[in-house]
Amino acid sequence: MQTPFSTGLVWLRRDLRLHDNPALALALRQCAQVHCVFVFDTHILNSLPRQDRRVEFIRESLVELDTTLREAAGQPGAGLIVVHGVAEQAIPALANTLKAQAVFAAKDYEPQALARDSAVRRALLAQGIQLAQVKDHVVFEEREVLTQAGKPYGVFTPYLRAWSAKLAETPPAEQLLARPCKALATRPEAYANEVPTLAELGFEPTNLSTLAIPTGESGGSRLLQDFLERIDRYDETRNFPAVKGPSYLGVHLRFGTVSIRQLVNHARRRVAKGSAGAQTWLSELVWRDFYVQILANFPQVASGAFKPEYDAISWEDGDRAQTLFAAWCEGRTGYPLVDAAMAQLNQTGYMHNRLRMVAGSFLVKHLGIDWRWGERYFAEKLNDFDLSANNGGWQWVSSSGCDAQPYFRIFNPTSQSEKFDAEGKFIKRYVPALKALGSKAIHAPWLAKPLELQAAGVTLGRDYPQPIVDHAAARAKTLLRYGVVKRAD
């Protein structure tokens, strides 16, 4: 079959897999030969800490992808081209060197990515090369799901209904790669090098392997299979951080080592059999689409509140704000569940979803810190950091976002702890200073009897901090702080 292009270049970004890869599938349909490239973009890398699990995760995933590309091609000369440089310059230069007539890539909806892709498109067009972009990391994008008035949704529940109805009409199809695939071309000698080491990229090893976080498409597949054995109870287990309830697929969704369509199809099949757990998980996948379309249609949320009146709130500032924020970041608030959540984040790059809400709400509504400070800290620490989901989550806890919790709803960290970590198992794992306390005292050590603290070897202020704020006083202050919003309603 004749193809429109003799040579195509697939620019992989957050789709590091072969199974159900729309950009690769389109290139293979339209090109006689296809090259694949990943760019370690220095515009992104230069702002990261030298030890960053995400860079190591990507690097390890690329090593596997390089191998699977060669296996899929049926020839050792094929494989992944890896470039370390500025994507806006590297992609047009590589396309020109390969004499490609088209570059294929999955869409990205983040503002910086849109600016980068626009610049690449202009540079390619100047060389007579097309940039073809396809939907990939969402099921429905941008303006595919709209209200009857033709506007984007700002409330989740009606969006969920519309999303589900559209899915029933057009269920997502997964695209398979035929093997061997002779269209996967041999790499030019100048680009036949191995995937760069962390040191060559200017980074240092992390504790990724010690944490046993599986990488690559195979790692995502193993996690998915493990979760499918537990998915039917997900609705019962998802809120308890000491229980193996989540899928742990967040980082794989972020970098595309699993396909969102594959996950949705698995969930739908279980829902059809009456699985309440699968239904709950599917709705959380829809939240992911919801936040992506919010970012795409309301890009101002990347810097300010979805509800503009919330930008009028006066947050803590000066030295006091810095002191409170540092205590939160370092897990020194005196509230065990919050401190355990922050320790989990700092040590592993992961935070349980329930704890993201508790810790986030505490920062904003107990300490009075601007939600954007927390958003930036999570962006630096989370392995699965995704701008749309992170922004949506932080605006939810601060009540400034779409379909957010009401401003007067303020999580009590002690009651949250008693409800979701009743025996203190999670707290004991990440706040070992409290491991000898009983299951009641561990949620609020400052209320424990002196003899109980003594028996547990805990001296407040030495072994574990006193609470940095009083819950009741903080709640009252927050209601006053949010008064400017109430007056604007």
| Residues taking part in catalysis | 284, 287, 315, 353, 371, 394
Q: How far is CA 25 from CA 19, 113, 303, 352, in A?
A: 9, 22, 35, 35
CA distance 60 to 39: 14
- Say if residues 32 and 273 touch (Cβ distance below 8 Å): no
Q: Which of 148, 140, 142 is nearest to 169 (CA)?
A: 140
Q: Which amino acid does the sequence have at 159?
A: Y
Q: Which of 225, 245, 213, 231 is nearest to 426 (CA)?
A: 245
CA distance 337 to 351: 12
131 strand-pairing partners: 103
Q: Which of 161, 164, 100 is nearest to 128 (CA)?
A: 100
Residue 2: CA count within 13 A, CB half-sphere: 1
Four-point Cα dihedral 445, 446, 448, 453, nearest 10: 70
Other Cβ atoms less than 10 A from the Cβ of 303: the count is 10
